Every structure is written in structure tokens, then in C-alpha cells.
Structure 1
Amino acid sequence: MGTTRHRGRAAMDVSALLERAGSGDQDRALPALQHFIAENSQCFLFDMEGRDQRRRLGQVVLRLLEGDLQPACQLACLGCLRILTRDKSNLRPFSTRGSLETLSRHAGIDGIEERVGGLPDSDVMVEALKCLCNLVFNSSAAQEKCAESGMVLGICQRIKLYNTRKLAPDIRFFDCRLLFLLTALRLDIRKQLAYELRGVHLLTKVLEDTLVVQWDNSQEVAAGEEGGCPLACEQTNCAMEILKILFNITWDLNKRQVDEEDASAYRHLVAILRHCLLAPVEEEDQAEELHSHTVNLLGNLPLMCLDVLLMAQVQPSSAEYLGLNMDAVDSLLDFLNKKVERGHRLKETVIPALNLLTESARGHRETRKFLRMRVLPPLRDVQTRPEVGDTLRNKLVRLMTHPDTDVKHCAAELLFVLCKENVARFVKYTGYGNAAGLLAVRGLMGSCWSEGTYSEDEDTDTEEYKEAKANINPVTGRVEERSADPMVSMTEEQKESEAMKLFILFDKLARQKIFQPMSLAPDGKLVPLDEATHPLVEVRESESDSD
């Protein structure tokens, strides 16, 4: 992060290093390896002309690691390999079964608990894990060998012992980083961790321990935890890696049958995720990233388990609605508002939040009413177009005409659900021009102008809106002065002539396939206009300029 990526030297001048490392003498090899690391620590791009030397160097260093080395020499060898494994064009020497077994042994994840001298040095394990992360990320061959060797089992065995062993935070972080890469890149490992190794239960416990969560009960973090000491950087970094792994292994959760035991585990996880949304974090950028991963994971979990977000005790500082604690929902709204405001990578950052809020509103009445109160308060300003302004409603309406189809559909869907899927109210808050896309997709174009009915507590018509309602242009969603009729002073012949010009223009655009004429079908959906049923008048091209 924040480092400058330098191109490697033409040949990286490793001749002397090869000679010293090849001798097998630790005392001779160590200074040369340390010098190589110091010179190339920021090297991420490599020249082709030094490729053969780098390959030979990697093989020599791997042979050294197979021997009995002092920790300092092990560390230097692994530091050298960490640099060499960045070269995507030269990974074959490191992607063999033997090389990966050597690295796994130095990382302490080979599954062998009883070894002479115990676990490797902490710094050695971290360097070995970094090498494995580079290999898994850059080499499909390494990914396959890791899957065949059962590396995920060795990582999980160590994860289970976190509470009984005092391991350095960096080891935990890179254990999780390696596990994330394996589950992201290999479907078979993802399924193995999810089903055979009960990954959700295992990682939920690790996440709980990482965040040092204290409980009032099985589904509520102790009062004061959210306002306590901020999460340290190392805690937050490790938690985010765990969240990413959980996202990978729950990606198909909505397609699975969830039994009572699993549902209880997911509710416990949701309670921890609520803590992730509300706990203070030392770094603001980290807080947003943590919230982003939390939102992504919440979107994978069963909707019936998300009610835990509302089950916390109401505190004096809580956002309360209908006697429920809405702090988590309020945090989700704040996260969405920030991401929409920035407008950067909307598809990756905004869509998960929109979908989560939509499904929560659809499944929980209290959540929907709270969101409607925050996003669509009673309409008072009828002079401004719905997409103009700085409120979240204005921002979401602007997204309804976003070039990305998925973004605009998700934004429209949330607003439609908050309107209790009432077409008249939806048009009222967004304007027919903005609402037309969703209405057309849902086949609701024919019901656009019906008033609809809703309960008294759902009625949001203010006095200002009622007074101006007759003058509101439903297409733009605001009050507009009536413009003079341009056809008042025209004769019937002139009107017919203008109508014919318009028809010719539309006909020409249709023939050139610039757009396709559509008709409203009986089911309310738009369908291509049937030329047999609605024949076009044949007009000679020369008539297009005629008066």
C-alpha cells in the first residue's frame, strides 16, 4: 500500500548470489541474500533478460530451505522467494508439490503438530505465508497443487488452536489471507471449507475472538461495546479477511435448505456483523472497508436471520422506531449515502447495500417503515424535480437513470418497495419519467395513474402536496406553469402537416432501427408494435421536405 513499484534491473545481477547460495554455506549465503532483499524489496516488475538467472536462484534457495538452517537464514531465503514469486512469468520452480510442501512446512500449516523444535520462528512463518499467497494468487498450477495437498485442512487446524497458542497478529492475518485466496480461486476448496470443515461455525468463532466481542446474550453484544475502544488496525484487517472468506463460502446460501441449527448459527453471525457496523474503528478508511465487507456478507445470509439487526436493547442514544433499535439500519443508510455521494465504482459498492435494504424492507415491516421515514419523508417541496437536491431520495432518483442497468434497477426497486409497491405513490415521489423503466419491466404501465389505496398510517400526503397536486406535472414530478398551447393559432391544415412531419420522422427512425416502436400489451408490458395490426402509412421520402 502506497509503495512505488520499480522495474527490476535488467539481469538483477544475481551471479554472485547464485555462487554463494549454491555453496550451501549459510554464513556465505546470508549476507548476499540480505543484500538482494534490500536492493529489490520494491521490485514488482521484471525484465525478461534476467529470467533464467531468477529461475536458477529460486531453485538454489529452495534447496537451501530444505536443509537445517538458522532462523535468520530461513528468513532471508523466504524473503528472497517472496520477491521472486511476484514474477508471474517465472513461477514454475515454485509451483511443484515439493516446493509447496517446503513452504507449508516453514509456514507451520503442513498439519504436522509434533516436530523437532516445535513451530518455526514467527517471522519465518509470516514470510512463508506471504510466499504462498503470492503463488496462489499468481499461479493456477499452485492453486491446483494446494487443493490436492489439502492445505486448507492445515490452515483450519491452526485456526482452531488460536485460543490456545499465542500467535503473532501477522500470522493470523496471513492465514486468513491465504484462506481467502484459496476460497476465491477454487470452487472445490470453497465447498470443502463450507461443508466438510463447517467453515461458517469455525470462522464465526475466529471473528468473534478477533473483535473481542462481549455478549449480553447469544444475539446481543454487551451494551457499551459499540461505543467502547476503537478497533485497532490489526484487528480490523484480520476481521475483513475473515468476512471475505465467509462471503466466499456463503455465496450460494440462498439456494440451500437452512435447518434450525444453521439458522441459529447465522443469527449469531448477524449479531457479530451488527457489531461490525456499529463499533468504532481507528482509521476512517478502514471503517468504510469493514462496513463494505459486512454489507456484502449480510446480503448472502437468510433474510429470516436478519431480524437480529433489530433485536438490541434500545439505548438513550439509539435510533428508535416502534420500540426497536434501528442503529444498524441507520448505519446501513449512512453507508449507502456516502457511497452514492462519491459515485465511485457504484456497481461494486452500492448495489449490495441497495439489495440488502430492499430485501430487509420487503421482509420486515418495521424496517420498511423506518426506511420510508428516512428516505421518503412526507412530500412538501413540490417545486423541485425529484432528482434535484442533496437528500438520499434525490440521489436515489438520480440513480434511476444511471447508464448501468443493474444500478438503476436496484435503486428503483428499493424506492418501489418503500412505496409499498404502490404505483401511484412511486410516481408521486420519483416522477413518471424516472419511474417508467421499472414500471415497464414489471408490466405496470397501465396502472400508472390509478390512485391506489393505503392505510391511514401510510398516508404521506401533506397539506402542501394536496394544495399543489392539481398543478403537478406527473412526468417531471413537480409543479410547472402551464405553457401556451402552440396549436391554438394553427389551422387544421397546418396541424395535419405538422402531424405528418412527425409521423415521417418516427417512421424513418424506426426503419433505420434507431429505435423500435412499442405498444402496451393487455398485461401492461411493452411489446414490439405489430406492423400487420398497425400498418404504417407508406410515405415517399420526397414528401419529408414538403409543406
Structure 2
Amino acid sequence: MVVNVERIIQYIKHGDQDNVQIQLEVYNSEVYTALMWFIRTKLQPQVLRACLRTLRILSRDRLALAPLETDDALMTFAHLGGLTSLPMTSDASEGQEYGDSVIIVLALKHEIIKITFGTFFFRLLSGLSERLKKELDSPLPPAGQFYELRLLFLLTALRPELRLQLQQERGVSLLTSALEQCLSVKWMDVNEVQSDPTAPPVRKEVSEKAVEILKTLFNVTHDAHRNEPDEVQCALYRRLAAVLRHCMLLESKATRSTQSEKHAVNLLSALPLQCLDVLLSGRLSTSSVEWEGLNMDCVRSLLQFLERRLDAGHKLKEKLTPVLNLLTESSKVHRGTRHYLKQQILPPLRDLSLRPEQGTSVRSRLVRLMTHVDTDIKHCAAELLFVLCKENAVRRFVKYTGYGNAAGLLAARGLLSGCGPYHQSQYSSDSDSDSDTEEYRHAKGRINPVTGRVEEEQPDPMEGMTEEEKEAEARKLIWMFNRLSRCVCPVSRTTLQPQGQSVPIKTNWFMSEDSEEDLDE
């Protein structure tokens, strides 16, 4: 069908929507086909640029992409993008100037590269890897590297088998080197990057490239923490962790969370825990945060990142769970990290007039998350606080959170009765009373364990009751306790009446439906 532009304009003027739609779809398809043929001929660079810009605009119409969804079209764009390991089709022009940076950028930005799938993507991945290696060895600044990295991320995000291929082709080492080049890393020692406190903030274009590298690295290493790395892998992951530490310290200068900082945290949470010791091994300087002889600059940056994320009003699960998990697992294996975080998040209690969930402190905001509707958020927040209490100090955990907030985690671990599995071997033997201030010791007897604060004295609810009424209330309370504990933990074999007499109760790990009737008899 021949496209008649004048006819399209007339249809538009008359408001003929059906014919406008038909004519425009035909027009888009015809232009696509003609331009794809045209760019395969020998063109001057400025003409080729104009054609690519037009194709990029037209490619936003997903319904008219058929002429581009072919192997020939994909090979053409790959070749124009500088991926010379992929040969052009036989009718392509020889001697075309493909090294022009603008042409490379426009070709790699094209939508068809992102949305079409085929077996040739394995070759495309190899072409991208080879081009990235050449750019690392070249003294000249790379042209269009951002879009190469974006394409590499999309390939590894959409095709799981390509992640394995890139990993087998030493992709982690290659991308780590690319990240070092992007951030202009200078090494002081093995696994220690030289930091410059006076360096200016990272430029936007540098941060954007770093984000694409970090996202691709996460795709390739997202399950690395589940496997036991060998000696070579440990060395590689420690070097990567050192670069990520440098990235975190650079971004901590910003006034708010940045994209590269977020992806650095995500990537750190994917690495094996034993390789994260480099986060604490930096040399101490006058501006460093020192704790027990260790450099806590990176841990402080992670804590500041968590604080900013706690203020987020939406997508809490996406924003909080990676950093919460990272701090929790690091606290389990690194004693210095746990002690520092405990001091910052769970400082000695002084103001006992507020509930634990009230206030603006990190502790208060984490305690509020312990009753969040999202189970993952609730679990991650409670787990971090519980690990800071060494996973066995139930009294300390309840002291900082209140029994009402702590009940969910304690029930899940079988610790509602105050006893259960212990993990003392993982932690040091610091005393539970080391955080008891004079204010806490003075008010300890008046603290309501459920709410976690000092409550005003309430009148005796049994005042004026007869002995029969007191006994009825006691039986009702026993029944309520047993009904609650039936599904969460075993109940004591005896329960005390108000007068102090022991009354046997029919209980087991899970009480039967008849137990309620037994209590009423």
C-alpha cells in the first residue's frame, strides 16, 4: 500500500479515527521497512545518525515493530553498536564508518535490542564482553559504554542462562574491573581502596554507569551467598566488597539515598558473609569511626542508609529488607559490627515514659515495623533487634521492645515462656546488665512488661469483689491463657489460683477442643 501523507492529514482534519489509525499503522510499517533497508547501504555518518534517531522514535510503537523483529535487523543494530564479533548480513555495506560514537549510542539505545529474544543473544553477550575488555585496556574514554552496560544488564535480567554464561566467562572479574575504572579506584593495599575525603561527589553520568554495573553484578552473583566459595572466588569477592565499600563511602556524602548506594547494598547482601570482613579492615584515620580497633565507616554508612530508608513512605519491603538482612547477617558473624550496631540502635534506656515504638530513634522505628502488616518486613526488623540481643537474651529483647511487640518473634522461636534454643556459642559473654542505667534500675519494678514503659498506677480491679467472683475471674483468665497458648507453645502443667493453691490443668503441646469444656467443669 502506498502511503499518502495528504490523505492522512485530511482524515485527521475530518476526525475519521478509524482511517487515521489504519493509515498511520501502514505509514509506520512502511517507514520502518524502508529505513532498515536504507541503513544497510553506504551512508554518510550524519545521514545514518538521522535514520537511527527516526527509528528510535518510531520504535516506541510496539505494535509496529514487526520489520525490526528479524535476525537481520538485530545483527544490523549489533554491528552498528560496535559489536564486530557479530557479522553483518550479506547485503550490508562494506567499509561503513561504524566507529562514530553517536551512531554507537543511538544503535544501542534502540528498543529492538531490549525486547526481542533469540539464540543470537549468546553471541551478543560474548560481543559485549569482548568490547568491554577492549575498553578497559584502551586509554581513550569509551563511547556509548552506558548503553552497552544497560544492554548487558537487560540480557542477564531476562535470560537466566546468560547469567551462567557470563559467570563462566569471568564476568564478575570483568565487571569489577569496569566498576573500578568507572569510580577511578586507586588501591592502597590488597582489598583496601584509597579514599580521599576531599574528593567531590560522584558525577551523575559516572553514577549512572556504576548503577548498570552493580545491577549486572547482582544478576550474576545473586545466589553466591548460598554457596561455599573456593579460595579464588573468596579473593574475587573480597576485592569486589572492597570496591563496594569505597562506593558506599563515596555515596554517603550525599544528602539522600542514591541509586548506586541502593544497588551497592543489594550486591553486598548477595556476597558470601566471610568475604565481608574487608568492610571493617580499612585503615583508621582522624576522621574514621573507630570501634574496638576496627574501622566502622562502612557500617556507619549502612546505618545511615537504613535511617533514610526508614523514612520512606512506600515500597518499604523493596527498600528495607536488603539492608536489614545485610546488617543482621553481618552482626551474626562479625562481633565488632554487632557491638557497634547495638550501641547505636539499642543504647542504654533512660526515658522510660514512652512506649518502645514511640519516638523518632532507629530503635523506635524498627519496633514499629515489628507489627507491620507485611510479614517479611516484620520478620526482618524483629530479627535484627533480636540478633543485637544475641538471639538468646529474651529479657533484654523484651526490655527494648516490649512484650507485646516481641511476642510474634518469641512465639515463632518457641521462647514465649522465656526458655528455648540458645545460640551462646556464636556470641561473646557480655552481661545482660551492662546496659541498665540508674534510671532503668530505679523504675524497673514499675515497668509494664507488655507495653515496655512505666505506667501510671491503676486501681486494684478485684477491689470490692467477693471470693466467689475472684475465683470466677481467675478461671476465666486461665481459660483465656490456655486458649491462646494452645496454638503457640506448651502450657505449664499447673496454674496458680489467686489464693496460691495449685490447680492441675489438662494440657499438651496442642490442646484439644475439649480442653475448654474441661476448664469450665
Equivalences for residues 66-465 of structure 1 within 5 A: 66-111=40-85, 116=95, 119-131=98-110, 134-137=111-114, 139=115, 142-148=116-122, 150-165=123-138, 171-195=144-168, 197-224=169-196, 226-279=197-250, 288-421=258-391, 422-447=393-418, 454-456=429-431, 459-465=434-440
Aligned 8 A contact 1:231 1:281 in 2:
no
Following TM superposition, by how much is the alpha carbon of 1:91 offset from its aligned partner in structure 2, in angstroms? 2.7
Following TM superposition, by how much is the alpha carbon of 1:261 offset from its aligned partner in structure 2, in angstroms? 1.0
Aligned 8 A contact 1:233 1:282 in 2:
no
Aligned 8 A contact 2:79 2:87 in 1:
no
**One-letter code of the match for 2:112?**
L
Following TM superposition, by how much is the alpha carbon of 1:87 offset from its aligned partner in structure 2, in angstroms? 2.3
Shift in CA distance, 152/366, structure 1 to aligned 2, threshold 3 Å: same
**One-letter code of the match for 2:76?**
T
In the alignment, structure 1 segments of 5+ residues that lack a partner are: 1-12, 18-45, 540-547
Shift in CA distance, 501/386, structure 1 to aligned 2, threshold 3 Å: closer
Q: Could you tell me which residue of structure 1 aligns to residue 452 of structure 2?
A: 477
Following TM superposition, by how much is the alpha carbon of 1:52 offset from its aligned partner in structure 2, in angstroms? 3.2
The secondary structure found in structure 2 opposite 1:487 is: coil
**One-letter code of the match for 1:352?**
P
Separation (CA, whole Å) in 2 of partners of 1:473 and 1:504: 23
Following TM superposition, by how much is the alpha carbon of 1:491 offset from its aligned partner in structure 2, in angstroms? 3.4
| Count of residue pairs the alignment pairs up | 484
Following TM superposition, by how much is the alpha carbon of 1:49 offset from its aligned partner in structure 2, in angstroms? 6.7
Aligned 8 A contact 1:396 1:412 in 2:
yes
**One-letter code of the match for 1:531?**
E
Following TM superposition, by how much is the alpha carbon of 1:77 offset from its aligned partner in structure 2, in angstroms? 1.6
Q: Deviations over 1:389-448 (max 9, x none)?
A: 111111111111111110010000000000111111101100010111111111111216
**One-letter code of the match for 2:95?**
V
Following TM superposition, by how much is the alpha carbon of 1:527 offset from its aligned partner in structure 2, in angstroms? 6.9
Aligned 8 A contact 1:214 1:221 in 2:
yes
Aligned 8 A contact 1:357 1:414 in 2:
yes
Shift in CA distance, 170/162, structure 1 to aligned 2, threshold 3 Å: closer
TM-score, with length taken from structure 1: 0.80
**One-letter code of the match for 1:155?**
L
- Bigger Cα displacement from structure 2, 352-361 vs 334-343: 334-343
Aligned 8 A contact 1:288 1:335 in 2:
no
Separation (CA, whole Å) in 1 of partners of 2:131 and 2:475: 79
Q: Could you tell me which residue of structure 1 aligns to residue 489 of structure 2?
A: 520
Separation (CA, whole Å) in 2 of partners of 1:173 and 1:108: 13
Shift in CA distance, 348/489, structure 1 to aligned 2, threshold 3 Å: same
Separation (CA, whole Å) in 2 of partners of 1:488 and 1:502: 17
The secondary structure found in structure 2 opposite 1:216 is: strand
Following TM superposition, by how much is the alpha carbon of 1:147 offset from its aligned partner in structure 2, in angstroms? 2.4
- Bigger Cα displacement from structure 2, 486-495 vs 329-338: 486-495
Separation (CA, whole Å) in 1 of partners of 2:136 and 2:486: 67
1:468 matched to 2:438? The reply is no
RMSD value, Cα: 3.5
Following TM superposition, by how much is the alpha carbon of 1:51 offset from its aligned partner in structure 2, in angstroms? 2.7
Shift in CA distance, 60/280, structure 1 to aligned 2, threshold 3 Å: same
Separation (CA, whole Å) in 2 of partners of 1:503 and 1:47: 74
The secondary structure found in structure 2 opposite 1:275 is: helix
Separation (CA, whole Å) in 2 of partners of 1:73 and 1:536: 91
Aligned 8 A contact 2:104 2:144 in 1:
yes
- Bigger Cα displacement from structure 2, 56-65 vs 46-55: 46-55
- Bigger Cα displacement from structure 2, 83-92 vs 119-128: 83-92
Aligned 8 A contact 1:424 1:449 in 2:
no
Q: Could you tell me which residue of structure 2 aligns to residue 24 of structure 1?
A: none
Aligned 8 A contact 2:68 2:74 in 1:
yes
TM-score, with length taken from structure 2: 0.84
Q: 2:25 aligns with which of 51, 55, 62?
A: 51
Separation (CA, whole Å) in 1 of partners of 2:173 and 2:139: 21
Q: Deviations over 1:122-150 (max 9, x none)?
A: 1011010001xx2354x3xx1234425x1
Q: Could you tell me which residue of structure 2 aligns to residue 530 of structure 1?
A: 512
Q: Deviations over 1:26-54 (max 9, x none)?
A: xxxxxxxxxxxxxxxxxxxx968733332
Separation (CA, whole Å) in 1 of partners of 2:509 and 2:159: 43
Following TM superposition, by how much is the alpha carbon of 1:216 offset from its aligned partner in structure 2, in angstroms? 0.7
**One-letter code of the match for 1:326?**
M
Separation (CA, whole Å) in 1 of partners of 2:202 and 2:216: 20
Following TM superposition, by how much is the alpha carbon of 1:355 offset from its aligned partner in structure 2, in angstroms? 0.3
- Bigger Cα displacement from structure 2, 387-396 vs 455-464: 455-464
Shift in CA distance, 502/457, structure 1 to aligned 2, threshold 3 Å: closer
The secondary structure found in structure 1 opposite 2:179 is: helix
Separation (CA, whole Å) in 2 of partners of 1:527 and 1:338: 43
Separation (CA, whole Å) in 2 of partners of 1:375 and 1:47: 61
- Bigger Cα displacement from structure 2, 248-257 vs 306-315: 248-257
Aligned 8 A contact 1:519 1:529 in 2:
no
- Bigger Cα displacement from structure 2, 104-113 vs 114-123: 114-123
Q: Deviations over 1:463-511 (max 9, x none)?
A: 111111111111111111231122322335655777899999999xx9x
The secondary structure found in structure 2 opposite 1:490 is: coil
Separation (CA, whole Å) in 2 of partners of 1:411 and 1:79: 49
Separation (CA, whole Å) in 2 of partners of 1:360 and 1:458: 24
Q: Deviations over 1:79-114 (max 9, x none)?
A: 122122222333332121111001101111141699
**One-letter code of the match for 1:251?**
H
The secondary structure found in structure 1 opposite 2:109 is: helix
Aligned 8 A contact 1:95 1:145 in 2:
no
The secondary structure found in structure 1 opposite 2:135 is: coil
